[in-house]
A and B are shown apart, each in its own frame.
Chain A
């Protein structure tokens, strides 16, 4: 059998080496390498998808010794929770490369960093070894730092610094937890499958490890009050960086919450689930209300990410509280699908804001008006993505949030107050659409060009997938459910 997971994982790195080797190549060639590599990576991810997953275990596992003396190995594989995220990552990166083909400022370094980021992102989702996971987790952080610092907007240095220090501070507790789990396992190993099958820590040690992990993933997700880096980083990051940051890297937090916190310290997680639930509810509401107060479109979308990720937290916490396996599976199905939907929808929204900024050099809602008249394609794409983001039935977020709320209703009805968030996001998106795309057209934007072919190529797949997930979520959910229905803890 071909080691297709590893091939997919390291293809981008290979592309990065190729770009490094061709130092005199023109920007066109370099971007061509980026697009071709990520297209092949997507093909690899689709291949993994077609091979599918087995219930109750990790599939397509590939393993090579790394540091056998301390029980660390290169172990990768997928299950129903990680596989959709791998596919999402491959899709978003390909579209990001197509979108970025216009970047003329140091294209070599840009493409190399993005390809490194792609390997790191897929690696984080596919790792079955905690040490390996941590390596990919941190490499993604470094690449994103240079991405923001090198290609961001006006205040990029400060934003990049804040992002780097904040998330490093956030990720180091995870290292502590990993060491704790490692020293607790007997014989010592970093094999995540062993940790999941036989949680190595109990009692106070497990709770401390859980708290450390929650801190890490709360910063990454981000959960109120650990979210303060997000608006700053998003506003200053280049559009492509924002897409990857929101579409892929925020999922490290929620994925880690399920994979590490829930699966490796299940008992402690159950004990703390109510607290986690409260954080999730509060974070979702806070994100919605904070978004309501924004006039900068990018900040607005950044805060709705806090809101959407809050629903994921709610879903995972409800899954831990649920006594019936069926309800637990529904909650987790919803949480995982929500991660995928958020990647698609928020990815599209950040692309759209980037396109708007390229044209108008501003993101202030108030400086626009009636844009639908001048740029109908861009306008209607934004309207569709915004409707998806506010949870309209038939679009990607609806089936995910519906399942989360359904499980919440069965387990902890009080927490349903979180639905208020949907009302608020509906309001704020309608306000944004009204201000930017409807109303009296402004003369100054009369010459604004509509979407070009490259931009259509970027948006069309995302919007099509948004509808596909919304109308017929089962093609994703079947894979997710195969794993979540078989979880034992």
Chain B
């Protein structure tokens, strides 16, 4: 095959990514023309088109550009999950920031950040990991700082400093892997069993770099501050899209890493730390955004139950994909309700009585986050538990289960006041002005349908993963 036809062959697999880039660029151009609504429409159409064009790739398992970028179950499903999630985030951003200065720039940044997350999820080469982390971080800093007040600026600074340090550590560690294997391809990591020291240094570095992106403990400190300072819509986005990208990137790395390096045990310990720390910290939050931030940290720990099973259990990939889809839906839904209700726990007092449908929806999202059937979160966690047990990590599953009980206490802190008949809430109680914004309602209604539907229709995803 000539170089030219190889190139076009490769690009044909990358049409979705190319369209996402075009969507980001076009949105930016429309923003320069001061046409924010057109920019929004362009971004949404572009992302949905990219998602549709991903569908024919289901079941494909190949790689492009000499193995540096993978078109496999994880990267295809990353597109199918993250692109619609970005669209929902765009709607939330529109509801929160409509009419503000440079609104269109936010849409563009969301597209580019999502592109970074997609690069991460399909990365087959160490350089793609670095590129993905950078791409998805640069846009994210600006997104967090967007409100231009003290809180947002401080949040963005913390976020940036954290990212710089962990990013440098990751690049430093990756040089050890490169030195030991003579290649940056992740597929060549199989040779690492002869260089245990280099393998260990690289492993720690990669977990640091991707752990920051996925907000795994102890690299999560930026997340609550960044989410709190950022617009709620941006927090919702950051808690879903870059996180899932990083988790899938970790799955791509460990796929070829020999288990003699001890990575499953390291990942398992990080999982224990992340789950427990996240929920224990969430237990004492009074700000709902911070509470959900810690919850999203803990949920990242659950993903790791699927990671430890990569290569050991056939359930690993399906569990990661199903839980990613479930997590995206329930978390975006919960954040959408927060956006419509308010940032404090007090705002939720009696909320299920004044707006019963939204109250029930929030209850469904939170109960799904706990992992109670028959909702999406249950199917995801159930598969994750199965994968971990299958990979002989039963003890890790026990820890995860204990954390699920803890998580119930966390989420009930929102649910209980919602159903309280507010004795003090009289006529004077003002319902937040944006509470009924149709865009927000649209987002949580869609998220609700996925959260409930996926509980019954998990087969839709499972069938495609099994074929791959």
Contacts and interface: CB of A to CB of B under 8 A. Distances in A.
B462 interface: yes
A3 B21 CA distance: 53
A165 B398 contact: no
A157 B416 contact: yes
Interface in B336-380: 367, 370, 372-374, 378
A180 interface: yes
Interface in B310-347: 315, 318
B97 interface: no
A142 B367 contact: yes
A139 B385 contact: no
B385 A179 contact: yes
A429 interface: no
Contacts of B463: 69
Interface in B39-89: none
A260 interface: no
12 contacts: A69-B318, A69-B465, A69-B466, A138-B378, A139-B372, A139-B374, A142-B367, A149-B419, A150-B419, A176-B385, A179-B389, A183-B389
A176 B390 CA distance: 11
Interface string B374-397: 100010001101100110001001
A186 to B, nearest CB: 13
A157 B318 CA distance: 38
A65 to B, nearest CB: 8
A67 B389 contact: no
B390 A164 contact: no
A375 interface: no
A135 B382 CA distance: 11
Interface in B217-251: none
Interface in B403-433: 404-405, 408-409, 412, 416, 419
A154 to B, nearest CB: 14
B401 interface: yes
The range of chain B's interface size is 20 to 34
A65 B462 CA distance: 13
Given A164-B408, A168-B405, A172-B405, A134 B373 contact: yes
B401 A176 contact: yes
B458 interface: yes
Contacts of B402: 169
Interface in A263-309: none
A165 B374 CA distance: 18
B459 interface: yes
Nearest to A160: B416
Contacts of B401: 172-173, 175-176
Contacts of A161: 412, 416
A206 B318 CA distance: 27
Contacts of A146: 419
A326 interface: no
Nearest to B466: A69
A183 B408 contact: no
B390 A183 contact: yes
A67 B322 CA distance: 12
Contact of A183 (B318, B367, B386): B386
Contacts of A157: 416
A168 B404 contact: yes
Contacts of A134: 373
Residue of A66, A161, A175 with most partner-chain B CB within 10 A: A175
A252 to B, nearest CB: 14
A176 B397 contact: yes
B252 to A, nearest CB: 23
Interface string A142-184: 1000100110000001000100110011001101100110110
Contacts of A138: 372-373, 378
Given A138-B378, A172-B401, 9 more contacts: A67-B462, A69-B318, A135-B373, A139-B374, A142-B367, A164-B412, A168-B405, A175-B401, A182-B386
A169 B405 CA distance: 6
A161 B378 CA distance: 20
A68 interface: yes
A70 interface: yes
